[in-house]
Amino acid sequence: MHISEFDAHTQDKQVKPPLDPHLKALENEAIHIFREVAAEFERPVMLYSIGKDSSVLLHLARKAFYPGRIPFPLLHIDTGWKFPEMISFRDEMAKRFDLDLVVHTNPRGLKENISPFTHGSALHTDIMKTEALRQALDAGQYDAAFGGARRDEEASRAKERIYSFRTPDHKWDPRNQRPELWNVYNGMIRRGESVRAFPLSNWTEVDIWRYIQAENIPLPPLYYAAKRKFVERDGMLMWAEDKRFEALPGEQIQEDYIRFRTLGCWPLTGAIKSHATTLDDVIAELEIATVSERQGRAIDRDQAGSMEKKKREGYF
Amino acid sequence: MTATATAAVIAPAAEAAPALRDTRPLRLITCGSVDDGKSTLIGRLLWDTKAVKEDQAAALNRDSGKQNDLGLPDFALLLDGLQAEREQGITIDVAYRYFATDKRSFIVADTPGHEQYTRNMATGASTADLAVLLVDARAGILEQTRRHATIATLMGIKQFVLAINKIDLINYDKARFDELSREFKEIALSLGVKQVTAIPVSALKGENVVYDGKASMPWYEGPTLVQVLELATVRSAQTVGFRLPVQRVSRPGESFRGYQGTVAGGAVKPGDSVVILPSGMVANVKQIVTFDLVRNAAVAGDAITLVLDRQVDVARGDMIATIDAQPQVGLAFDAQLVALQPGGIEPGKRYWLKSGSRRQRVSVQPSSLLDLKSGKWNRHDGALPMNAIGKVHLSFDEAAIFDAYELNRTTGAFILIDPDTNNTVAGGMIAGKRGDLGGLNNEAERVILSLPADLADKILASGLLSERRDEVDIRRTNPGRAAELLGELDG
Ligand SMILES: Nc1nc2c(ncn2[C@@H]2O[C@H](COP(=O)(O)OP(=O)(O)OP(=O)(O)O)[C@@H](O)[C@H]2O)c(=O)[nH]1
Ligand SMILES: [Mg+2]
């Protein structure tokens, strides 16, 4: 039998129970989108931001193209302010899954020493994330970029298409999105234009966690509770173990069991107090959570409609 | 049906509750005219099913201002997330939201009522199983209400809830509710919709949404909105045979060649005989490969990789289908479509048509236009203006492959793309292959052959035959039956 080399892989696996129909439907839809974009575009790339959504996205990409390799590179925009555990996790995954990983940091931001503390979260995000992303996409001449955004994250995301059309300067025009009927996606663009594709559009946070559990997907340990140092600042629990961290006058560095519901730049990502050290614990906590996952994100609270504004400018 | 107000249930789902609850989410839309309260209704639904978290509730209360005298938040803001929407107090684009009750989960698309944004309503309707059609009890049924009901029906939605909203503003008047229910019943009948539940609601106050409105409407004994949604059925299984639109060919090494796609109908298992369209070549399924395991069957909705037992030419855009019940292959089809952009649809213009993974050139000739007021189709061969619903003839340069939309909501659906703008300008539903094919050989004599299968396969694979594949009818059967049929012709 000529596919024996691939059978080996499947036989190694212990038999796991079939996915429940709801997750199976979401998985099927995501795989369909991956394949469609890979077939229609010349130079796709996948944004890999190391968090739980990216981890699910990566897993789905491997499934979509199995038994082949993922036929496009992964792009990580490194702001220089990511948790070190994220970076080591990223490198481990790249090695384990033989990924074609591209890492980009905005050279202008590096030179000007852009920092969320001295320049503020808005400017930091503009330069180190949005501008950096535009640079990397232009440099790679990518015409399609996968992202792990979900519609349940935020009100302007809830409005976004699965194929989200971008102008040559990466702008999103929420008032003139292309109609997107059935699962027939319009991938026709002119040179310089591009599409952001969101295979996880219809997933919720709970779906992500239940899928991670069902599929045994590896995650950075930051999602699980551990004793970590932090301070309370502006109602947010800020991680305080980096050497660039400076306590403000009157701030107490505390140590307790905390974890993160989303991962980003550590000065902008709030932790929650938690003793959830396993996946089961995390899901149990989530099911009774009374605040949304983005509550810990400084970027969303800067101003009303701030996500839409950033997206119009080319943010993912 | 009882004689009380529950008679609003025009035709309740007749079939008994399934033994096993369907855990797939129900996909629904809200639709109807501007300001009827669609976003408020869904906002209220999210609120009352506890899908709104504390920080989101705080933001809602902060942003709401004083938009009503009841001291209630502006629930529509939970949906209208774009700045332009908040400024104008209207919905512009469809918002997708997710919520669950103890019994089931839901994906809801809140669509805009404004006529200018009909395209965004069509986007939401294309994948929905149920439509909640809103009517402002004061304004009644408007042209836009009919347009949305018509588009929803064309797109295959068979279950409707008629939410007669703002009932609080007409003093919970039963007579008005009955009048509007009756009026809509007529429209529904003319559209061929059998399943409509009419409910008097106040979206703002949350009456008959999740909680009942008995206190203000003791006369209404029917279900709340959520109760109807919990009992609705997910799109029934497609009735045609196995269909796999090929998205890509996977060739990770010399030794492996698999065809990747999402099963668009029927089921498949190793050993099944399949035909590759449009070429007409046949093969048997050798294996169904997925990341998790080599599977012994795949059904509609599954994203799979199919391995065949022989070397055949298969490319993206082809369709692998069961031999016994093949889709239609041809150069001319009839369809209905909704024009979605300001430029409309121009007769004779060449568009791109995309269906499944297949994209090809098409020219479109309108034949009739739907008059929303009378519900009648009028002859019309000019351009179809934006938001019009029309019947059209499609002519292709190369063979096209479809099922009727009625039979398969995936292989019967298509979009049109304007080659000048690359924008999606229409959504279409195939009615069927055109009978009156203007082809040269239409009037000519026909010959019926009965051949051994292997010989037929060789002929089918020939270039000459595949060029005119749409003029050929093929049925597979056993020798006995073939002899019988030929005998009948002689007799
Ligand atoms: N009194 C009362 N007011 C309502 C009710 N439902 C909606 N409204 C009000 O009607 C107005 C319009 O509501 P929306 O929910 O924005 O209407 P919509 O149908 O989503 O409008 P578009 O999406 O722009 O077509 C708002 O001011 C609501 O507060 C109701 O049941 N009772
Ligand atoms: Mg609205």
User: Is B114's C-beta closer than 6 angstroms to any atom of ligand 1?
Assistant: yes
Task: Indicate whether B220 and B73 sit together in one domain.
Answer: yes
Nearest atom in ligand 1 to the alpha carbon of residue B70 is 1
Average pLDDT of span B241-269: 95
Both B23 and B66 in a single domain? yes
Do residues B260 and B116 share a domain? no
For chain A, the structural domain boundaries read 20-208+307-312, 220-301
Out of B48, B68, B204, B217, mutate this one to test ligand 1's pocket (max ligand atoms within 8 Å of CB): namely B204
Last residue of a domain, one of B204, B231, B258: B231
Structure tokens given for A229: 């140092």
Domain residues for the domain of B491 are 446-491
Identify whether B3 is part of a domain.
Answer: no
Residue B427 placed within a domain: yes
Count of structural domains, chain B: 4
| Least-confidence region, from A75-89, A282-296, B378-392, B455-469 | B455-469
Q: Which of B21, B93, B151, B311 would best serve as a mutation to test chain A binding (most A beta carbons within 10 A)?
A: B93
Residue B187 CB–ligand 1 contact under 6 Å: no
- Inform me whether the C-beta atom of residue A288 falls under 8 Å from chain B C-beta atoms: no
- Are residues B37 and B141 located together in one domain of the fold? yes
Question: Mind listing the pLDDT tens digit for each residue in B286-298?
Answer: 999 989 877 889 9
Band of residue B19 on the pLDDT scale cut at 50, 70, 90: very low
* Residue B152 near residue B111, CB atoms below 8 Å: no
What's the CA dihedral at B230, B233, B235, B238 to 10 degrees? 150
Per-residue pLDDT at B444 exceeds 90 = no
Q: How far is A156 from chain B (nearest CA, A)?
A: 5
Residue B58 in any domain: the answer is yes
Taking the model in full, what pTM does it have?
Answer: 0.86
Q: Do B123 and A184 touch (CB under 8 A)?
A: no
Query: Which is more confidently placed, B240 or A69?
Result: A69
B34 CB less than 6 Å from ligand 1?
Answer: yes
Average pLDDT over residues B223-241: 84
Ligand 1, atom nearest to B165 Cα: 31
Residue B40, pLDDT above cutoff 60: yes
- Give B443 or B133, the one with higher predicted confidence: B133
| Judgement on whether residues B300 and B169 belong to the same structural domain of the protein | no
B148 touches chain A (CB under 8 A): no
Written out in words, the top-level CATH class of the domain with range A20-208+307-312 is alpha beta
B304 and B188 in a common domain: no
Interface test with A, best of B26, B260, B336, B387 (most A CBs within 10 A): B260
**What confidence category does residue B447 fall into, taking pLDDT thresholds of 50, 70 and 90?**
confident
Q: What is the DSSP letter of B236?
A: P
User: What's the start-to-end Cα distance of chain B, in Å?
Assistant: 54
**In a shared domain, residues B248 and B226:** no
B132 and B49 belong to one structural domain: yes
* B137 Cα: distance to centroid of ligand 1 (angstroms): 12
Please name the residues in contact with B62: beta carbons below 8 A apart, sequence gap of 6 or more.
none
Region B203-215: mean pLDDT is 95
Is B69 domain-assigned? yes
Rounded to the nearest angstrom, the minimum Cα separation between A153 and chain B is: 10
Ligand with an atom nearest the CA of residue B31:
1
Is A248 in contact with A234 (CB distance < 8 Å)? Answer: no
Residue B410 — pLDDT band, cuts 50, 70, 90? very high
Residue B5 reports pLDDT greater than 70: no
The pLDDT averaged over each successive group of 10 residues in chain A (316 residues) is: 35 65 93 98 96 96 96 95 92 95 94 87 89 94 96 90 93 91 96 96 93 94 94 89 88 93 88 92 84 61 66 75
The CATH code of the domain that includes B45 is 3.40.50.300
B56-80: pLDDT as tens digits: 888 888 887 766 667 788 889 989 9
| Same domain assignment for residues B342 and B222 | no
pLDDT of residue B408: 93
Whether residue B404 lies inside any domain: the answer is: yes
B460 burial type by CB count under 10 A (0-12 exposed, 13-18 middle, 19+ buried): middle
Q: What is the pLDDT of residues B296-351, one digit of tens each?
A: 899 999 999 999 999 999 999 999 999 999 999 999 999 999 999 999 999 999 99
B434, B458, B478 — which closes off a domain? B434
Q: Which atom of ligand 1 is found nearest the CA of B134? A: 19
d(CA A291, CA B461): 62
B423 and B460 inside one domain: no
The answer to whether the complex's ipTM is over 0.90 is no
Distance (Å) from CA A177 to ligand 1 centroid: 24
Q: Is the CB of B470 under 6 A from ligand 1?
A: no
Residue B251 sits in the same domain as residue B363: no
Average pLDDT over residues B139-150: 94
What value does the CA radius of gyration of chain A take, rounded to a whole number of Å? 20
Do B317 and B405 lie in one domain? The reply is no
Percent of chain B with pLDDT over 70: 89
Q: Are B259 and B244 in contact (CB under 8 A)?
A: yes
At A66-77, the pLDDT tens digits run: 999 999 999 999
Pairing of strands B424-433, B328-339: antiparallel
CB A66 to CB B305 under 8 A?
yes
Q: Which ligand is nearest to the CA of B90?
A: 1
Say yes or no for a CB contact (<8 Å) between B23 and A69. Answer: no
Per-chain mean pLDDT for chain B: 87
Q: β-pairing, B389-402 with B26-32? A: unpaired
Q: B322, B346, B372 — which closes off a domain?
A: B322
